[in-house]
Amino acid sequence: MNKPAITALFLFILVFLCVFSVFSDERKENIDVFVVLDKSLSMEEEIEAVKSYVEESIVENILIPGDFFMLIAFYGQAEKMIIQDMSDEEIRGDFKNKIASIAADGRFTDIGNALDTLRQALKEYEHPDRRQYLLLITDGIQEAPPESKYYSEDGSFNHAFLENTRIIQKEGWKIHILGIGMATAAKEIAEQLSGEYTEIAEEPTKELLEEKTKDFLGRIEVVETPRFDSVKSNGSSSLRFVLQSVYYEEDVRITITDAVLKTSDLGTIQLVPKPVEIVINPENPADVSIPVLFPGNPESGEYSGEIYFSFSGDSSFSPAVFAVDFSVKNYFMSNIFWILPVIIIAAAGIILMIIFLSKGTGRKKVIKFRILQDNRPLQREPYSLREGEFLFIFEEKGTFKTSEDKPEKNHAHLEIRENELILKITEPDFFRLIDDLPEGTLLGKKIRIHSSMGGYKILFFRAV
């Protein structure tokens, strides 16, 4: 091999390793990783490349000490191969040895049973405060044995399987389906699970599998639950929610193919007649607003239901199923601005008078804001802090939390002074800043705080 070729090969390997090591080198928070691996007979030619990929790309390059790892190998049955925290390098070696022992020697392919086994194991080992990642690797369609509750004569997904996937959709996992070969059901499974999918038609290699899943840790999260604006009497409204990019360094493009609302009163409603494309920037949350139309001029009243999102391509957001409550206005309320202009003018006058009279009456200042810890909101809804009130901040197991009531461990609190959001540190030994406290209001500013578990946390105060 000539010198330029050797140099090019070296650079390629270096760049490739950097892609897969960047997350494990920089990531501080612990995660849960679940790999569900097809070991049926039809995987015999591909199993070595797949095992090498899981050993090197997942176990070696992604897992850090403290991460939880679960590996389930399945065929007509499901075997729990690994259920353990990655505590040290010796455990990492044990993981690799167990993966290396897997052989493609099983009959049938029961994906539904494998997901059942995963969910049952999670009841005992799940960490609810962690981000969770599921990678399902298979080369075949659903082919459950006759004794399985997921069995169907034509290999289609039966009712029991679909009910299972709806539960998984609500639990907020980042789901990636990796289909090996041309005859896989990867796309259909991904649609049912509202996950991402990748199909590899050619003969798989470890390097190709790594390239196809290079953004394995990247995820788009829903940080404000989807909600409807009040539905007008003609059925028009808007569906609104906020998305946050995590562990992506570039813009992510998501295509929503379906947003289905299921209610007991209005039935099933397709909210998006055509695909909706959303672009999420890694630096800023995306405020999403999608115009929707409820058919048939729904009757006024209060309604509740669930929204199911489906996606196309290799990007999605999680969770993908949400409970929603919404109201439908009657005709008068929907058209009040056109029917009663005089009342509007009078109401506007009254409002202006109230505003004028209220000036100087000493009403207390209210500030609404969010607190993001390492780019992740501490709670779904914004904080609303009134002058004279306090929002207490304390640390628990390396994570900073908030409380409106004074906790036993009160390390610091937020308050309003002269219309500015101010941080007051009450226990400097526990709440130690790395940099000087910013002057003036905290809104729009970041502070770095030492963590009792080592390292530091970044708190960002964003005005709403």
pLDDT digits (tens, 9 = 90+) for 184-209: 777 777 777 778 888 887 889 999 99
Q: State mean pLDDT over 218-228.
A: 93
| Residue position matching structure tokens 């798989």 | 204
Lowest mean pLDDT among 111-115, 247-251, 358-362, 380-384: 358-362
Mean model confidence pLDDT for the chain:
84
Work out whether strand 31-38 and strand 445-450 pair parallel, antiparallel, or are unpaired: unpaired
Whole-number pLDDT of residue 196: 85
Average pLDDT over residues 438-457: 88
Burial class (CB in 10 A: 0-12, 13-18, 19+), 83: middle
Among residues 322, 30, 364, the alpha carbon closest in space to that of 172 is found at: 322
Tokens of 103: 């052989």
Query: Residue range 238-256: average pLDDT?
Result: 95
Signed CA dihedral, 311, 315, 321, 323: sign only = negative
Is residue 396 within a helix (H) or strand (E), and if so which, with residue range? strand 391-396
> Residue 433 — left, alpha, or beta (φ > 0 → left; ψ -120 to 50 → alpha)?
beta
CA angle 81, 106, 49 (to 5 degrees): 70
Residue 51 has pLDDT above 90, yes or no: yes
> Which phi and psi angles does 75 have, rounded to 5°?
-145, -115
Scanning the structure block, which residue is given the tokens 């999605």?
316
pLDDT given at position 48: 96
Does position 93 have pLDDT exceeding 80, yes or no?
yes
Comparison of pLDDT for 91 and 331, the residue scoring more: 91
What does DSSP assign to residue 265? T
* For residue 1, pLDDT beyond 60: no
Q: Would you say 373 and 399 are in contact if contact means Cβ atoms under 8 Å apart?
A: yes
Q: Which of 17, 15, 28, 397 is nearest to 247 (CA)?
A: 28
The pLDDT of residue 343 = 59
pLDDT at residue 52 greater than cutoff 60: yes
Mean pLDDT of 21-27: 54
Q: Which residue has the higher pLDDT, 152 or 280?
A: 280
Residue 20 has a pLDDT of: 42
pLDDT digits (tens, 9 = 90+) for 334-365: 454 554 565 566 567 777 765 555 554 456 78
Nearest Cα to 267, choosing from 241, 291, 295, 293? Answer: 295
The answer, yes or no, to whether residue 129 has pLDDT greater than 50, is yes
Q: What is the pLDDT confidence band of residue 331, given thresholds at 50, 70 and 90?
A: low
Quote the CA–CA distance of 461 and 373 in Å, as a whole number.
9
Task: Determine the average pLDDT of the residues in 209-220.
Answer: 92
69 has a pLDDT exceeding 90: yes
Contacts of 67 (CB under 8 A, 6+ apart): 30, 31, 32, 33, 85, 86
**Residue 191's pLDDT is what?**
78
Coil, strand or helix at 180: strand
**Neighbouring C-beta atoms of residue 1, cutoff 10 Å:** 7
| 78 pLDDT more than 90 | yes
Task: State residue 160's pLDDT score.
Answer: 65
Nearest-angstrom CA–CA distance, 141 and 421: 56
pLDDT at 6: 44
Pick the range with the lowest mean pLDDT from 38-47, 54-63, 271-280, 307-316: 307-316
Residue 68's pLDDT is 95
Alpha-carbon distance 306 to 225, whole Å?
12
Q: What is the helix (H) or strand (E) element at residue 12, kind and residue range? A: helix 3-26
Contact in structure between 141 and 184 (CB atoms under 8 Å): yes
Average pLDDT over residues 18-29: 57
Q: 323 pairs with which residues across the strands?
A: 306
Label residue 427 by pLDDT band (50, 70, 90).
Answer: confident
Which pLDDT score is estimated for 426? 87
Top mean-pLDDT range of 162-166, 363-367, 374-378: 374-378
Confidence of residue 399 (pLDDT cuts 50, 70, 90): confident
Q: For residue 295, how many C-alpha atoms fall within 13 Å in the half-sphere facing its CB? A: 9
